[in-house]
Structure 1
């Protein structure tokens, strides 16, 4: 039996609804408690609360996986393409096998294929992890910003944005997406030079068409 990808997330709706209800309950309960100032170093969960957090996190991560698959399935079906190979890369999560918290980072274990997005213009890097212990078996999840979103909107002109995207078809270069201009991110050459110890770069995906949703 082959489920259509756009129906897969629906299977998780009852569970997601329960998770939302649980979080809503605890949100109201916490609001009734007098606020207590706690140092960030001491702001952690333990016991049952910690286990419930990890449980909910796994549910959300799995939902995100199926959501991405649904998007891919829709594009593939409508464009008449065929999937020859695929893999997924996630960031901002907890690796439960190794108990590694990756914020702004991805797993890069030895032999693991990973995707490192750069920007709208330059595309993404396909890499193979080296399993470098000194890097905590990780790699950066992207190029990283040179400018905050607010600064990018104030600093970069629409004309500059349009110029960076010459040669790439897009319908979404506008003032609403100025904060995603390539000029707001660290240059690709800098990223490539800094990640040699943790991954081998095997390919660069250059965009032919780019769609960027605005907030």
Structure 2
């Protein structure tokens, strides 16, 4: 762990604690963003930086920000509640068929993924959403709808178009979201996925980020911020309360979205088993469902604070979490060690070393195919920005946080579904 101080207004000092992976120093843009956050007047103790950190919007992805009396909506971001879920199945990799294309296709049919054109979205034919959601998913949305409607009644501009909350329940999305079939070191089969609150959370996050900026302008604070995207909402104000209510709803939506996708993917595999195309199985008790983009109330260093994990996983002592690598380098099921300096947190992945634009320019399709050898996956130009070379080596990231988590299972993917 590295520690450094930054100068802050009014003679204060901001403190930063960083878990930087050996051989992969954080880029200067990310360090500048971290230092800007540390300068904010309501930071509690220090800013903790995870080994997968890379530049984001306002705040660096891979930071843990504990605050007293304020919250920064852009630090939480717009992919509110994004996170991971994994379950272990009662079968071994040796029992699986040699070719797994039918498994990928079955999952792709069961879980809408990707994003359609603007015209498709407007006309309700978006391949990344349901036309009519399955009954199971509609029931998951029904448990959240009342809370959502109360929020939108107060903030109608935070609403999605149409019935998107229902139509996107149990859907994957795009970017780095995925569903994978994996094997651990004992050849056990795992089903794992990564997604969040979809358009509902994006709209809520975007709306309240702008509201925070308006608040800063109203009180003549905006121009003094080190970065306009660090605009904040102050505790005991109506807007703060409404944001916390809305972000809590989006985080719960993300949890239910992952559960719904997992249910659908398991059902798809069971159908293949019924057809004799996979061995019969049950889902074991080994299951993890965790956020890595969220805000929550916790106690640290003797104070009750808000903890924003922008690309970080809670790692309290004994708490289970998931740290995915890239789409070609495997993942880890971990157990937290409760390191107080990290606010009981760990990384949420490998962390990018290339922007999406850079990756598309520098990585060829042949290089991507070679990196994905042995994995049943799409191999087209649309996912070059997610190729393994665009990410830090997950081994270096895990080595840098040996004092944050204990590795329980190492997983390697054999099937990958991308949005």
Output the TM-score relative to the length of structure 1. Answer: 0.87
Deviations 1:41-66 (A, max 9, x none): 67221223212211111111001111
Q: 1:7 and 1:39 mapped to 2: Cα distance?
A: 47
Query: Does residue 1:188 correspond to 2:394, yes or no?
Result: yes
- Tell whether the 8 Å contact from 2:151 to 2:242 is kept in structure 1 after alignment: no
Deviations 1:155-189 (A, max 9, x none): 0001100110000111x221111110010000022
- Is the partner of 1:87 in helix, strand or coil? strand
Kindly state the Cα deviation for residue 6 of structure 1 after the two structures are TM-superposed. 5.4
The structure richer in strand per residue is 2
The structure richer in helix per residue is 1
- Tell whether the 8 Å contact from 2:292 to 2:313 is kept in structure 1 after alignment: yes
Q: 2:152 and 2:343 mapped to 1: Cα distance?
A: 33
Kindly state the Cα deviation for residue 87 of structure 1 after the two structures are TM-superposed. 1.7
- The residue that corresponds to 1:146 in the other structure is 353
- The residue that corresponds to 1:125 in the other structure is 332
Kindly state the Cα deviation for residue 5 of structure 1 after the two structures are TM-superposed. 4.9
- Is the partner of 1:94 in helix, strand or coil? strand
Query: Does residue 1:87 correspond to 2:87, yes or no?
Result: no
Q: How does 1:191-206 map to 2 (within 5 A)?
A: 191-206=397-412
Name stretches of at least 5 consecutive residues in structure 2 with no aligned partner. Answer: 1-134, 159-206, 271-280, 300-305
Output the TM-score relative to the length of structure 2. Answer: 0.46
Q: How does 1:1-215 map to 2 (within 5 A)?
A: 4-5=136-137, 7-25=139-157, 37-40=222-225, 43-46=231-234, 47-48=236-237, 49-80=239-270, 81-85=281-285, 86-98=287-299, 99-170=306-377, 172-213=378-419
- Tell whether the 8 Å contact from 2:349 to 2:394 is kept in structure 1 after alignment: no
Distance 1:22 1:83, change over 3 A: farther
Name stretches of at least 5 consecutive residues in structure 1 with no aligned partner. Answer: none
- Is the partner of 1:206 in helix, strand or coil? strand
Kindly state the Cα deviation for residue 148 of structure 1 after the two structures are TM-superposed. 0.5
